[in-house]
A and B are shown apart, each in its own frame.
Chain A
Amino acid sequence: MPEVVTLVVNGVSVTMPKGSMVAAAILKTGIHGFRRSVSGEARGPLCGMGICFECRVTIDGEQHCRSCQTVCREGMDVRACG
């Protein structure tokens, strides 16, 4: 059985294979808006590789974390506000 980690996205528990990125976990919970743009549009990941900063979320209280470059850890608390 592959190793897994469980994290919490906007209060919902989600289990991911070990080594997965937070952006994938957020999409898996059915959330597509990761952040709000300066004019209020919902945005989600674009580049998937740390360049575009569209996938920024709050992780364990720290704002503006690029979820596509952050590896899922057990018990992580993720807040997307799109």
Chain B
Amino acid sequence: MPVGEAHHVCDVLVVGAGPAGMAAAFRAARSGARVAVVDDNPAVGGQIWRGEQAKPKSKQAQEWFEKIRSVDFEFINAARVFEQTSPGTVRAETPDGVLELSYRSLLLATGARELFLPFPGWTLPNVMGAGGLQALVKSGLPIEGKRVVVAGSGPLLLAVGAYLRGRGAEVLVIAEQASSWRLARFGIRLVREKEKFLQAWKLRREFSRKGAKAQRKSVRYLSGCWVVAAHGEEKLEKLTLFRGGKRWEVSCDYLACGFHLVPNVELPELLGCAVENGCVRVDEFQQTTVPQVYSAGETTGIGGLELSLVEGEIAGLAAAGKHDDARQLFPVREKHRRFAQLLNRTFALREELKQLSAPDTIVCRCEDVTFARLRAQSSWRAAKLQTRCGMGPCQGRVCGGAVEFLFGWRAQSVRPPVLPVRVESLVRGSE
């Protein structure tokens, strides 16, 4: 065996240690399965509970960190699964070398990433994702006194705005592309979901006049509003915002901009799992179209925390053979699925966002491919061959979503390795 190559054997291998992966690992381990969890990040918690292991910020996080601590499982951090060597065995790269992981059941809880849409200036340093800036602040970036504009779409914007303000940032505007009409309908439906309504109401109130007064500066939550351009020399200096036919400029230090989420389906696709409308297809027990490969959480469709948790629990139980126990949770999942559908309808992206790019706006940031060059292509494949779009280190993870929204092309095939890895990681244990 080459130096640094270690072999792990388990009953249930969970990829992704966010809420879905945690719930799955907990349920499977409690059912007596030998469980291993791998994640790219240094700790469990995923993006939503990033850095909260020692000090959870909500009762729910606290509860799940306690649950996961109460069971026996192996956690392998800073590990990225990049290929399958044979059915039942995958390989992961870590800073210390390659791990070979063998399992009876595999559970893919790879989560989601933000959808980024190009607009002039979006490649300037300090233009980041909404979740992106939040992740960096959770990772130690001081944000106190910085002027931030939060923009894009989705319930994440309010949460990010509240979080950043709580850390001392001056949140100037929250620009939500969805119309006030759609948001109002969402609000009415939300009343039926008492808990979620209270959450949203609390966040919204933080940005109301009264709340804002206490913070001295007022924060505007503007619906039907979006960023049309970012300006600056070597980094972001100001933005042009658009709403209701009017344009105006705002000077700021950071833009936190994301257009809701897209599932991370590269690894499931590599393993042969069917993907429909960008989401991994699963049966009632969260099993994918590949036997003994399960999937849960945002990977199977964007639905938020509660849905991720219950899907994780069902998948974990099913992977451990406890199908009757899993079945008990179906009604809870159904309820949260309905909410997810409502959410996705409310924050559907408006057509105008397709018009933001100028001819020289870069769409593929890895290979610096412009909108004009892509517009001349006929398909994702043609774009890759002619322009190298999607062929850089991110492998289309950023531009793929944008290109699908702008041109309707979907990435077709995924090849190993699904992530850039060191050359020595690709050389299999031949010595």
Contacts and interface: CB of A to CB of B under 8 A. Distances in A.
Q: Do A and B come from one complex?
A: yes
Interface of A: 16-17, 19-21, 23-25, 27-28, 32-34, 37-39, 41-54, 56, 64, 68-69, 71-72, 82
B113 A21 contact: no
Interface string B72-102: 0000001000000000000000000000000
A43 B125 contact: yes
Interface string B165-207: 0000000000000000000000000000000000000000000
B135 A68 contact: yes
Interface residues of B, number: 41
Contacts of B362: 37, 41
Nearest to A53: B393
B253 to A, nearest CB: 10
A51 B398 contact: yes
A50 B40 contact: yes
A82 B124 CA distance: 11
B430 interface: no
Contacts of A41: 123, 362, 368
A47 B140 contact: no
B133 interface: yes
A23 B134 CA distance: 13
A42 B235 contact: yes
A41 B57 CA distance: 38
Contact of A53 (B40, B131, B392): B392
A82 B125 CA distance: 9
Contacts of B224: none
Nearest to A50: B40
A49 B142 CA distance: 17
29 contacts: A16-B140, A20-B140, A21-B139, A23-B139, A24-B136, A24-B140, A25-B140, A32-B125, A33-B234, A34-B125, A37-B365, A38-B366, A39-B368, A42-B235, A43-B123, A44-B128, A46-B116, A46-B398, A47-B114, A48-B132, A49-B41, A51-B264, A52-B394, A52-B398, A53-B366, A53-B393, A53-B394, A69-B41, A72-B140
Contacts of B397: 51-52
B398 A27 contact: no
A47 B132 contact: yes
A50 B41 contact: yes
B145 interface: no
B127 interface: yes
The secondary structure that dominates the A interface is loop
A64 B394 CA distance: 12
B300 to A, nearest CB: 18
A72 B129 CA distance: 22
A39 B127 CA distance: 18
The secondary structure that dominates the B interface is loop
Contact of B123 (A27, A37, A64): A37
A66 to B, nearest CB: 9
Contacts of A34: 125
B292 interface: no
B136 A21 contact: yes
A20 B142 CA distance: 11
B42 interface: yes
A17 B139 CA distance: 9
A23 B78 CA distance: 16
B240 interface: no
B128 A45 contact: yes
Nearest to B234: A42
B141 interface: yes
B142 A28 contact: yes
Contacts of B278: none
A36 B304 CA distance: 35
Given A20-B140, A48-B136, A69 B368 contact: no
B286 interface: no
B4 interface: no
Interface in B20-49: 40-42, 47
A27 B365 contact: no
Contacts of B420: 53, 64
Report, nearest first, the 10 A-B pairs whose CB atoms are least far apart. Answer: A20-B140, A44-B125, A48-B135, A48-B132, A24-B140, A21-B139, A32-B125, A24-B141, A53-B393, A32-B235
A45 B129 CA distance: 9
B56 interface: no
Nearest to A31: B125
Contacts of B51: 19
B367 interface: yes
B251 interface: no
Nearest to B254: A27
B126 interface: yes
B365 A54 contact: yes
Contact of A44 (B42, B131, B235, B394): B235
